[in-house]
Copies of this chain bind each other. A is one copy, B any other.
Amino acid sequence: MSDPIDFYFDFGSPYGYFASLRIDELAAKHGRTVTWHPVLLGAIFKVTGMKPNLEQPLRGEYLTQDVGRIARLTGAPFTFPDSAPANGVAASRAFYWLADEHPEQAKLLARAIYHAHFGEGQDIGPADTVAEIAAKTLGSLGIDRAAVTAAIQDPAVKDRLRSEVDDAVERGVFGSPFFIVDGEPFWGWDRLDMVDRWLATGGW
């Protein structure tokens, strides 16, 4: 029972952002680690026929209000990005470029990208922006802008992201955030308390 928890998220998902601020600490409380998996909801929605929340009448307006309320409740830094929903392709590729060899650096980068996007309201879609965030966050570890920019265009990295998205769909992931805990799927930021309880009790 000591497998990592799988945490799926889209860089454009505010609920994924809120989950990213809590999931590792929650897991650590139960002696568990977390494997992060950025995915592309746009690609997943092609399978499920869903639409981005923001584009749905009524639900889009609700979402805007709801995420502000969650930010105030949890104290998370939050600025609703004008650019939402952001394109997470470049950010996700940069993540997977690092993920195998340097998983902790990949996670640092993901946190920095999420913070830039939902903490500060920056558009994190452009590859240049992702490269800049990566250089700022990981520069002391030898990561520079040129390397990140090249990685984002690397066919092997592109393939890796595609196969991660396919794997996620295969495992039933249809939204962000999505957690898989010892085979049990949980969808949504609002399932974190249930994940906590699942980890504490071993399920019910």
Q: Quick check: B66 and A56 within 8 Å, CB to CB?
A: no
Q: Quick check: A169 and B56 within 8 Å, CB to CB?
A: no
Docked CA distance A72–B194 (Å): 12
Given contacts A65-B185, A185-B65, contact A172 B47 (CB under 8 A): no
Q: Does A61 contact B (CB under 8 A)?
A: yes
- A128 shortest CB reach to chain B, Å: 34
Q: Quick check: A188 and B187 within 8 Å, CB to CB?
A: no
Docked CA distance A62–B173 (Å): 9
- A32 shortest CB reach to chain B, Å: 19
State which of B49, B73, B169 has its C-beta within 8 Å of the C-beta of A204.
B73
Q: Quick check: A187 and B48 within 8 Å, CB to CB?
A: no
User: Which residues from B are CB-within-8-Å of A194?
Assistant: 69, 73
User: Which residues from B are CB-within-8-Å of A191?
Assistant: 190
Question: What is the copy number of this chain in the assembly?
Answer: 2
Docked CA distance A175–B66 (Å): 14
Given contacts A73-B204, A194-B73, A204-B72, contact A56 B65 (CB under 8 A): no
User: Which residues from B are CB-within-8-Å of A72?
Assistant: 204
User: Which residues from B are CB-within-8-Å of A51?
Assistant: 49-50
Q: Does A17 contact B (CB under 8 A)?
A: no
State which of B47, B65, B175, B190 has its C-beta within 8 Å of the C-beta of A190.
B190
Instruction: Produce 1/0 per residue, A42-65, CB < 8 A to B.
Output: 000001111100001111011001
Given contacts A73-B194, A204-B72, contact A172 B49 (CB under 8 A): no
Q: Does A97 contact B (CB under 8 A)?
A: no
Q: Quick check: B62 and A57 within 8 Å, CB to CB?
A: no
Across the two chains, which residue of chain B brings its CB closest to A44?
A: B58
Please name 13 pairs of A and B residues whose Cβ atoms are closer than 8 Å in the assembled complex, sorted by A. Answer: A48-B56, A48-B58, A49-B51, A49-B56, A49-B57, A50-B59, A59-B174, A59-B187, A61-B172, A69-B194, A73-B204, A188-B190, A190-B191
